[in-house]
Amino acid sequence: MTHVFYFQIILLLGGIAIIVFLTTRLKVHPFFALFIVSLALGLGAGLPPADVLTVMKDGFGQIMKSLGFIIVLGTTLGVLLEQTGRTTVMANFILEKVGSRHATFAMSLTGFVVGMPIFCDSGFIVLSGLNQSLARRAGLTITSLAVCLATGLYSVHCLIPPHPGAAAAAGIIGVDFGRLLLTGVVVALPAMLVGYWWAVYAGKGSQIDHPDSNRDVTPHHKGPSVALSFAPVFVPLVLIALKSFLVTPDANTVPLKLLSFFGDPSLALFIGILLCFVQRETNDRAKVSLWLHEAVEKSGSILVIIGAGGAFGHVLAAMKIGEHFSEVLPLQHLGILFPFLLTFLLKTAQGSSTVAIITAASIVEPLLPALGLDTETGRLLSVLAMGGGSMMISHANDAYFWVISKFEAIPMNAMLRVYSIATLWMGLTTLTVVYIMSLVL
């Protein structure tokens, strides 16, 4: 049995190395990298060729069944919040309530709230002009404010659905979306606060001119009201949360059945989308159609990556790699540390948090019994641990790193010293919080 294990570990490590090489050096799309490695691993492990393709199709279809609607609808909600000016209304409201004296914290909190439904790179681009304006008015360094905003967005991006990494990991591992959403927000808050603290502390010495920006991200029209701007974010969260806590499998009353229906993540997100059309400022149907097309196209790229990750995970399961690992390695002593470290290594090596957590989840799922995490709570903690690992370390091979640097004209040395180190502290903080939760839950 030992020689089988060593052969499979060589196959697995070789597969991971190929994924990193293809996506970083050759710039191959992650879908094709995962597809190629899944096929190679299945054939290398001695599975019949026809069975390998069947297993891959089953894995692809299963993950699409659980995540397809959620990714498309979640992406659409983010695009509509951005295009209808609701993100800017939310940001301005938070800044007004917190005050310019606490501008850095206001930007962190803005990123945290706005980032719940919106991808971190899109959210940063939309709010960067507001960030620059605030830096000039408050006399603060652009580095501190930019990293506060960036880490606020990043904290929820790595930990909660409908963001693709967390959503995919939940689908692969088998975690209730409502529980992950609520617990992920709780875990993301300390990560956001640590990112804020480091951005303020390390950004003090930065002497960077505020970049000239002719981009006016604040709508010239009045825009939606504050309540209608926050509603598409918080109504779906409340519905999903109520379903998770109040609806049981044997619920048979009409109110609970309705809550089960409207609290389904897909329908809750769709309700959020409908709320984006209340007090809409434009009646241009062509523009609305363009927004919806943009959302579908954006989600399509994410879906194929997640589907390929599902195929990869099914091939690993067919290889029974979990059984071989558990017989040779003392994984029970590692617990949540294993998924955290695995995701951290993948993230640091190839740059994408989404690809890192999808790949890690596919490897971890068959190992859950050996890790002592094959319970409802254990699966939840493993996904949160992988979310923490996918935060660190964001550096030059991460597209988000360059979005922050280019939009705010922050040089490489300041980005590495302030932002990259902030992501390190955020990941370690997340691991600490998840470990404490494992002792309590």
pLDDT score for 385: 96
Query: Can you say how many angstroms the Cα of residue 158 is from the centroid of all Cα atoms in its chain?
Result: 3
Which range scores top for mean pLDDT: 83-92, 125-134, 228-237, 422-431? 422-431
> How many C-alpha atoms does 236 have within 13 Å on its Cβ side?
27
Amino acid at 188: A
Give the least confident one: 214-223, 271-280, 385-394.
214-223
pLDDT score for 154: 95
pLDDT digit string (tens) for 186-216? 999 999 999 999 999 987 766 545 555 444 4
- Within 10 A of 54 (CB to CB), how many other CB atoms are there? 15
pLDDT score for 216: 44
Which carries the bigger pLDDT value, residue 118 or residue 279?
118
Q: What are phi and psi of 416, to 5 degrees?
A: -65, -40
If pLDDT is split at 50, 70 and 90, which confidence band does 363 have?
Answer: confident
pLDDT score for 434: 96
- pTM confidence score: 0.85
- Within 10 A of 259 (CB to CB), how many other CB atoms are there? 17
pLDDT digit string (tens) for 410-423? 888 888 899 999 99
Which range scores top for mean pLDDT: 180-189, 203-212, 350-359? 180-189
Residue 261's nearest CA partner among 275, 277, 276, 246 is 246
Helix axes 30-44 and 49-83, enclosed angle (nearest 10): 160
CA distance 396 to 125: 18
Task: Provide mean pLDDT across the span 34-53.
Answer: 89
Task: Indicate the burial class of 435 (C-beta count within 10 angstroms; 0-12, 13-18, 19 or more).
Answer: middle
Structural domain boundaries, residue 423: 2-440
Residue 162's nearest CA partner among 308, 311, 295 is 295
CA distance 55 to 311: 7
CA distance 401 to 416: 9
Is 104:196 a contact under the CB 8 Å cutoff? Answer: yes
- Within 10 A of 205 (CB to CB), how many other CB atoms are there? 11
CA distance 27 to 379: 32
Task: Indicate the burial class of 286 (C-beta count within 10 angstroms; 0-12, 13-18, 19 or more).
Answer: exposed
CA distance 44 to 116: 41
Is the pLDDT score of 1 beyond 70?
no
Task: Provide mean pLDDT across the span 62-69.
Answer: 85
CA distance 366 to 12: 13
If pLDDT is split at 50, 70 and 90, which confidence band does 217 have?
Answer: very low
If pLDDT is split at 50, 70 and 90, which confidence band does 328 have?
Answer: low
Amino acid at 26: L
Q: How many domains does the chain have?
A: 1
- Within 10 A of 420 (CB to CB), how many other CB atoms are there? 18
